[in-house]
Amino acid sequence: MSGILTEKEQEKLAKIGKDIRFSLECDINGTGLPCQTDRLESIKLMIEYLEIHNLEVTNKGEHNG
């Protein structure tokens, strides 16, 4: 993994980071737990974030939803 990111990659990381935070803000039921759709969206975004750093993400299990 290279420690140097291009300017384009840095901009993309900033946007993805903002989108991750936004997706985790949903608390429609007042439980402190974001709704399932938003949680799954944040996971997708986190994977994209990690892949920019050349990290491989594998599915270790099945989603039961």
Q: What is the mean pLDDT of residues 41-58?
A: 92
CB of 16 closer than 8 Å to CB of 48: yes
36-52 and 7-23 are packed helices; what angle lies between their axes, rounded to 10 degrees? Answer: 160
> Where are the chain's structural domains?
7-52
Query: What ranges in the chain are assigned the alpha helix state H?
Result: 7-23, 36-52
| Whether the predicted pLDDT of 25 surpasses 60 | yes
Which tokens belong to 61?
């299990």
What local confidence, expressed as pLDDT, does residue 1 receive? 47
Q: Is 20 buried (19+), middle (13-18) or exposed (0-12) by CB count in 10 A?
A: middle
Place of tokens 């946007």: 15
**Per-residue model confidence as pLDDT tens digits over 2-13:** 578 999 999 999
